[in-house]
Amino acid sequence: MDYLAQVDLGHGWILERFATLESTNTALVEIARQGGQEGICLAAEHQSAGKGRLGRQWDDEFGRSLLASVLCFPNFDLPDFFAITAAMSLAALEALDRYRVAPAIKWPNDIMVGEAKMAGILAETGESGHRRFVVVGIGMNVNQSEAELAGLGRPATSLGVLLASELSTKQKEAFEIDLLQRFQGHYLALQSDFARSFARLLSLYRARCSTLHSFVRVNLNDGESISGRVLDVSNQGQLLVELDSCIRSISAGDVEHLYR
């Protein structure tokens, strides 16, 4: 857990960089429960026990990934917390857009280039002093080689592979700051005027969600599998899938894109 540096992100937000943490999300949840303030961000060069969606593990090699989490105390209601993960998804796309790699969102919050995964986002909630908090984290492949990614056993890519060149430490740190400040902009807008800002955010999310209007197979957490065409993403982040006889609202599951 060697401390590396502190970065002022503006608006009272501070980024703390570490060499290794068990998990940026786990560490920040503990900070939140101990009375930490909104806008604390943690980043690590390596996680010894990184977490992914649905209880999975996020594996990484030292210095090859962007691994960061942000502590939020939203002033909007729990059913609207999807807005926070949507904001992080869009911040990642916007930060990547400058590299012209054509990223998209795969529901709920995977960042893809084509059918290859580049990043995942995980949000966790809890309470501190009778206030509900959200810790939202992102893990992104930055400097992994094609050989490293091939070992994952599923389609994956990295920014370095797409650019045919690794990012330097300075470039990687600048990219991380850009992404976090873009998230900050979206989040502070939600805090200031939720209804208007979320309408804009959801429109942007839908426009860049490759799952929308695709024919998909969804493997649900209880073992059921359904197939159908995706009609929409609801305001609370559910996937609306058209089946033969009904429309199913899906809150969690693994999505496989079959065709558009």
Looking up residue 253, the CATH number of its domain turns out to be 2.30.30.100
Q: Both 116 and 163 in a single domain? A: yes
User: How high is the pLDDT of residue 51?
Assistant: 63
Over its length of 260 residues, how does the chain's per-residue pLDDT go in tens digits?
Answer: 588 899 999 999 999 999 999 999 999 999 999 999 999 999 999 999 766 554 556 667 888 999 999 999 999 999 999 999 999 999 999 999 999 999 999 999 999 999 999 999 999 999 998 899 999 999 999 999 999 999 888 899 999 999 999 999 999 999 999 999 999 999 999 999 999 999 999 999 999 999 999 999 999 988 899 999 999 999 999 999 999 889 999 999 999 999 87
Q: Both 245 and 123 in a single domain? A: no
Write down which residue in 188, 207, 226 finishes a domain: 207
- Provide the edge-to-edge strand list for the sheet that holds 247-250: 247-250, 239-242, 225-233, 215-219, 254-259
With beta carbons less than 8 A apart as the criterion, state whether 55 and 49 touch.
no
Distance CA 63, CA 2 (A): 14
One-letter-per-residue 3-state SS of 105-120 = EECCCEEEECCEEEEE
User: How high is the pLDDT of residue 260?
Assistant: 75
The residues, any chain, with a CB within 8 Å of residue 196's CB and separated by 6 or more, are: none
DSSP-derived secondary structure for 210-228: TTTT-EEEEE-TTS-EEEE
Write down which residue in 207, 225, 243 finishes a domain: 207
Task: Count up the domains in the chain and report the number.
Answer: 2
Domain that holds residue 88: 3-207
With beta carbons less than 8 A apart as the criterion, state whether 68 and 75 touch.
no
User: How high is the pLDDT of residue 131?
Assistant: 93
Q: Both 67 and 166 in a single domain? A: yes
Q: Both 95 and 170 in a single domain? A: yes
Six-digit token string for 232: 């929409």
Q: Both 153 and 123 in a single domain? A: yes
User: How high is the pLDDT of residue 245?
Assistant: 83
User: How high is the pLDDT of residue 247?
Assistant: 96
Write down which residue in 186, 207, 228 finishes a domain: 207
Q: Both 228 and 108 in a single domain? A: no
Pairing status of strand 104-106 against strand 215-219: unpaired
Q: Both 139 and 121 in a single domain? A: yes
Q: Residue type at 242?
A: E
Q: Both 144 and 220 in a single domain? A: no
CATH number, residue 62: 3.30.930.10
With beta carbons less than 8 A apart as the criterion, state whether 248 and 226 touch.
yes
Distance CA 64, CA 151 (A): 15
Q: Both 219 and 131 in a single domain? A: no
Would you say the pTM of this structure is higher than 0.75? yes
Q: Both 242 and 123 in a single domain? A: no
Q: Both 105 and 222 in a single domain? A: no
CA-wise closest residue to 105 among 125, 124, 85 = 85
Identify the H or E element spanning 205.
helix 194-207
Q: Both 235 and 121 in a single domain? A: no
